Amino acid sequence: MNAAKPIKIIVSMIGLDGHTTGGEVVARILRDAGMEVIYLGVNQTPEMIARAAVQEDVDAIGISSHAANYSQITELMDLLARAGLRDVLVVCGGTIPRRRVEELKEKGVAEVFLPRSTSESIVRYILANVRAPRTPPR
Amino acid sequence: MKRETDYGYAIKTVYTPQDIPGFDYQRDLGDPGSYPYTRGYHPQGYRSRMWTRRMTAGLGSSRAANQVLKEYREMGQRGGMCVISDRVFSSPIDPDHPLGRKEAGVLGWPGSSLLEFEELMDGIPLTGQSITLLGSSAPSAIRLAYLVVLARKRGANLDEIHGSVIESPFENYFGQTDVQPFDLNLKLFLDAAEYILRNKMHIRAAIISQHFQESGGNNAQALALEMAMLKELCGLLVHERGLDFDEVAALPYELVSIGTRFFEEIAKMRALRRMWARLAKETFGAKRDKSCQLLIAVHTSGRTMTYQQPLNNVVRCAIETLAGAIGGCTALDNATLDNAHAEPSSLAARMSLNTQHIVAEETGVTDVVDPLAGSYFVEHLTNKVEEEAYRIWGRIEEWGGMIAAIRKGSIQELLREEVQNRHREVESGERLIVGVNSLAIPAEDEFEIPLQDVQADESEAIARRMEEWKKTRDLALIRDRLTRLYEDARKRDGCNLMPPIIEAVEAYATAGEIMGVVRQARGLSYDPFHMIECPFPLG
């Protein structure tokens, strides 16, 4: 793995969630921070996201969520574990109630960014926690 | 702090007669009830017709949503009911679809069959209040069919039913999507609209800017888009479907999203009435006064409801409700204090309805029509937002109109840019949001509000019920009806699909089956997600 390569991250909605605003804003933030963003968009099943993670050899996955029962994020975590991708950093963002945040973290989601999280806090977290070795982006 | 309207117009310290040069009362405003209706449609304002006070319902099973509607009645919901669909029915697929079963009943009512509609409306009359079913564009024809069939079954007079159940295909591109292609949504929308008008039903179509604004668009853009959508869809109904404009004008309604920029929101509503009146008269040659009056409902903005310190949202909701009331609306529904967390809890719904009741009963706002008319500032803002909206609308026309602009992605880009601007403004502190980028408190100090949500096993239960129920239907009858629908749909745009959709709904064909068959007839896959096949042999 080339250490100079930028961090590669998937940004996606999951299931039938069609609320794209948050995901698009975050995708732009990450791109501006020098990351290579693979924006999957809407109507992505956990299987599709896991497959993309394998094919694209990503370092991280960001799931944008606007109201859900969160079963599909749990499924995604199981699929990633089964595919041997436990070192891929998974973060979520959106209108996620606090008690659900705890549940998601128990399932292996590294961090949940709540509405109005700053660009800086998202970028800083990913840089600090993504699998090594990667150089800081430009 | 930025002292600009949300569309970037710098606001001065004080406004004087110089800010409304050439102001002509009759031409620019007119009395309430007179063209160009800037001041509203009723000479007596709310004294003759109070706005419909309603709350959006829909979460979990249809029976659960039915209970919520009954609770809202107890909380003083008056004049109308409003139900939003879950994503499964919005798509539309069925709850027993492999994707549907994972989120049935999340975020809305799982209305994928007539059975669900019957359960939703159990013990609730179809007449005497407006029936509004929201969701997305794709299932518009199916929602309309539910209404027609249930009216038939109950022996209710279709003439006496009013409300809105169909939605324009544009909203699908404003940050909240369904999975069907634009052409198909447009075709079904026009079919449903034509059916309503030819049968003289009192059902409206949502041709609305609300999604656009809730996804981040500004006031002037929302106004411009609204006018562009209205012009294009009314134009299609007149020119392609051969309907008279004075009939078509009874179809659309606009759901205005009202945020916390108090005076600007009121100005926007006043400008909208004037812009529509002029479009109706000057472009479409409206003959009837009524045709120059666009029905306007208000949704107080969910986007302004913060996750942090949710009790602050009660205050925002009150300010927005007051703006909506002063702006002059036919119906109002509120975002709730828990909007950024979940669907409304009982407490949040009661707070929102009470906010409306307090504004209606205690402030005196219903006594006088258009009370801010003549304010140098408000008249100036009304002119300004109109001017800016005409400018943006002009650009949309240059792109070839709304449909062409959507196909090119121009509208989506407009929205994307504006969302980024908004994000930057908040992040840089140019715009302050109390509890978010100003006076924030640690998470552990947050007041804990009650939240309701739908668990995965509830979605699964909705799915399993549908799976079992499907087997009990008259399958031969459904096959006949779907075959007829398939044959009609193969005639492409030459054949209105409402009659066969109504027949299919009556036989309890589901939304997923109906849409799948129409898709297949148009050369698409039965299942937009390519996971299941059509269970009935067709043709």
**Tokens 């970028």 correspond to what residue?**
A123
A43, A99, A114 ranked by CB distance to B307: nearest: A114
Check B420 against A28: CB less than 8 A apart: yes
Q: Which CATH architecture has domain B1-50+229-239+253-336+343-428?
A: Alpha-Beta Barrel (3.20)
What pLDDT is attached to residue B539? Answer: 66
B363 reaches A (C-beta below 8 A):
no
> Exposure string (b/e) for A73-97, b if CB count within 10 Å is 16 or more?
bbbbbebbeeeebeebbbbbbbbbb
C-alpha B215/C-alpha B7 separation (Å) is 15
Which residue, B38, B35, B40, is CA-closest to B282?
B35
Continuous segment of H or E residues that includes residue B166: strand B162-167
Q: Are strands B56-57 and B52-54 parallel, antiparallel or unpaired?
A: unpaired
Q: Convert the pLDDT of each residue in A18-53 to its tens digit.
A: 888 899 999 999 999 999 999 999 999 999 999 999
What pLDDT is attached to residue A4? Answer: 66
Alpha-carbon torsion B45, B248, B212, B524, what sign?
positive
B456 reaches A (C-beta below 8 A):
yes
End-to-end CA distance of chain B: 65
CATH number of B61-206+442-539: 3.20.20.240
Within 8 A of A71 by CB-CB distance, chain B residues are 102-103, 456, 459
Q: What is the ipTM of this complex?
A: 0.90
> Exposure string (b/e) for B510-529, b if CB count within 10 Å is 16 or more?
bbbbbbbbbbbbeeeebbbb
A21, A25, A95 ranked by CB distance to B340: nearest: A95
Distance from CA of A136 to the nearest CA of B (A): 23
Q: Per-residue confidence of chain B (539 residues) as pLDDT tens digits?
A: 899 999 999 999 999 999 999 999 999 999 999 999 999 999 999 999 999 999 999 999 999 999 999 999 999 898 999 999 999 999 999 999 999 999 999 989 999 999 999 999 999 999 999 999 998 999 999 999 999 999 999 999 999 999 999 999 998 888 777 899 999 999 999 999 999 999 999 999 999 999 999 999 999 999 999 999 999 999 999 999 999 999 999 999 999 999 999 999 999 999 999 999 999 999 999 999 999 999 999 999 999 999 999 999 999 999 999 999 999 999 999 999 999 999 899 999 999 999 999 999 999 999 999 999 999 999 999 999 999 999 999 999 999 999 999 999 999 999 999 999 999 999 999 999 999 999 999 989 999 999 988 889 999 999 999 999 999 999 999 999 999 999 999 998 789 999 999 999 999 999 999 999 999 999 999 999 999 999 999 86
Check B423 against A70: CB less than 8 A apart: no
C-alpha B327/C-alpha B310 separation (Å) is 26
Report the residue of chain A nearest B446, measured CA to CA: A98
Distance from CA of B348 to the nearest CA of A (A): 15
What is A8-129's CATH topology?
Answer: Rossmann fold (3.40.50)
Q: Convert the pLDDT of each residue in B164-223 to its tens digit.
A: 999 999 988 887 778 999 999 999 999 999 999 999 999 999 999 999 999 999 999 999
Continuous segment of H or E residues that includes residue A48: helix A46-56
Distance from CA of B508 to the nearest CA of A (A): 24
Q: How many CB pairs under 8 A join A and B?
A: 91
On whether the CB atoms of residues B10 and B4 are closer than 8 A, the answer is yes
Which of B85, B103, B306, B424 is best to mutate for the A interface (most A CBs within 10 A)? Answer: B103
Distance from CA of B330 to the nearest CA of A (A): 28
